[in-house]
Structure 1
C-alpha cells in the first residue's frame, strides 16, 4: 500500500512485555509530548488478552504518564467517543499478536482512519511485533501460521517491517528472500532490543538496550539479490553503539 507518511512512528523490539529494565519504554516516553503524556495501550492483536493488559497497566501506572487501554473486542465507546478518546492521546502503544487480525478489526471499527488523524495532530504511534508491523505498507509476519508477507499495512511508514530479526528461526532468511524477489518493498528489520523513531517517514533516531542488537535496512539489488545495511544505534544507558 502506498500512502503518504505521517507524523511520528516508533518501532519497538521490546518493551514492558519482554524486558525487565524498562529502557525502551522510558526512551519512548521521553519522545512523547507534554510532561505527563496520555498513553493508550491497544491490545487488538492479542484479542485484548487480559494478562497483557495487566502487564501494561502494571508497567505504566508507575511511570509519569496517564495510562489507558482501548479494547475493541468488548467495545464500550460509540463512534464519537472513540474519536475523541484516540485524538486526545499523546502516545498510542500497540501490542503484539496477529498482524492480519489487528488490521481487519481496526478497519472494521474505523480505528485506522482515526489513528492517521491522531498522528497528523502529533500523537506518537508505536508498538512491538504486530504493533510495529502494522504501521508500514507491508510486513513480514506469521499471522497465517508459516512465515510469509503481508502487503496491506496502513502505510503510515513507507516500505516494510520485519520484527524479531535475530530471535525467531527463519525470520532473517525469509525476509531477505521476500524483499529480494519483490514480494515486499525495501524495509526495516529490527533485532530484539532495538527502537527506531521515524518522523514523516524518515529515520530520526535508533537505539538499543542490547549492545549486540542492530537495526537493518534491507533492499533488493540489481542482480535479484539483496543488500543489508547496518544502521547506527545509540546504546541506551551507555556509550554509543555503531552496529559494526
Structure 2
C-alpha cells in the first residue's frame, strides 16, 4: 500500500494509554484539535492489545464529554454499541481513528484478514485523522522496531502509509534506542523516525509537518544510515501548552 493521503498522528507513547508520562491529556487534546468539528467522532481500535476491556474502558473514560466515541473490536468482544464486524465501513464516518498499543505483528495480521487497511486509507483520504500509540504508531510505516515476538526485532511488514521505519518509546525502554540504531545502520530497517514517550509526529499526505510533546525534554529524531554507520537528527519539537 503506497497511498499517502490525509493526516496521521504517530505517538511514541503518552496520551490516555500512559497517564504517568506527563500531562497525559495534552496529546489527546491536540489530536482532537486536528479533527473535524467541535465534538468529533473518535473510534478506538484496540486490536494490538486483543481488544482488552480495561484498555477500552480507559479510552471511553478519557474521551467522555470531549468526543462521540465508538469502538472497533475485531475480536468480537467490544462493549455495547461497538461497530459491527459486518459494517467495518463505518470507519469512513469517523473523524479520528485512534489505534492502541500492543503487538504490531498481530495487529497487521488481523487487520489484513478483515480488509481494514484499505478502508483506513480511504477514510484518511476523505478527512479522517488516523492516529495511534506504540503499535498504533508502527503500523502506518513501511517498517518498525517491535517487541511483538518477545525480544526487540525489526519488522518490515507495515502498511506503508508513511515512509521509512518507526521506533516508539525511543528512550523510554532499555535497549530500544540501541537496537533501532543498529538495524538502521545495518540496513535491516530503512531510515526512519523515533519518538520518545510523550511525543507525537504529525503527518500530512506522507510529509512530516510537526513534532509536538506533552513532556518537556522529550524528543523526536530522524535516524539515517550513513557511510560511517548511522546518525540521529533531533527534530524541532514543540511543547504543548508552552
Q: TM-score, normalised by structure 1?
A: 0.92
8 Å CA contact 2:76–2:85 kept in 1: the answer is: no
Q: Structure 1, residues 157-196: CA drift from partner, whole Å, max 9, x if none? A: 1111000001111000100000011111111100011111
Aligned to 1:47: 50
The equivalent of 1:231 in structure 2 is 235
SS in 1 for 2:56: helix
Does 2:140 correspond to 1:141? Answer: no
Displaced runs of 4+ in structure 1, greater than 2 A?
Answer: 75-79
Does the CA contact (< 8 Å) of 1:41 and 1:69 recur in 2? yes
CA deviation after TM superposition for structure 1 residue 62, in Å: 2.8
Partner in structure 2 of residue 19 of structure 1: 19
Once the two structures are superposed, what CA deviation does each residue of 1:205-242 show, in whole Å capped at 9, x if it has no partner?
1111111100000010023x00100000111111xxxx
Aligned residues of 2:74 and 2:85 also touching (Cα < 8 A): no
Task: Structure 2 unaligned segments of length 5 or more: list them.
Answer: 78-82
**Where do 5+ consecutive residues of structure 1 fail to align?**
239-244
Deviation at 1:154, TM superposition (A): 0.3
- Please show how residues 80-159 of structure 1 align to structure 2 within 5 Å: 81-83=87-89, 85-159=90-164
Q: What TM-score do you get using the length of structure 2 for normalisation?
A: 0.93
Report how many aligned residue pairs link the two structures. 233
User: d(CA) in 1 for partners of 2:3 and 2:53?
Assistant: 35
The corresponding residue for 1:3 is 2
How far does residue 57 in structure 1 lie from its aligned partner after superposition? 0.2
* 1:167 and 2:169 correspond: no
RMSD: 1.3
Contact in 1 for aligned 2:3/2:121 (Cα 8 Å): no
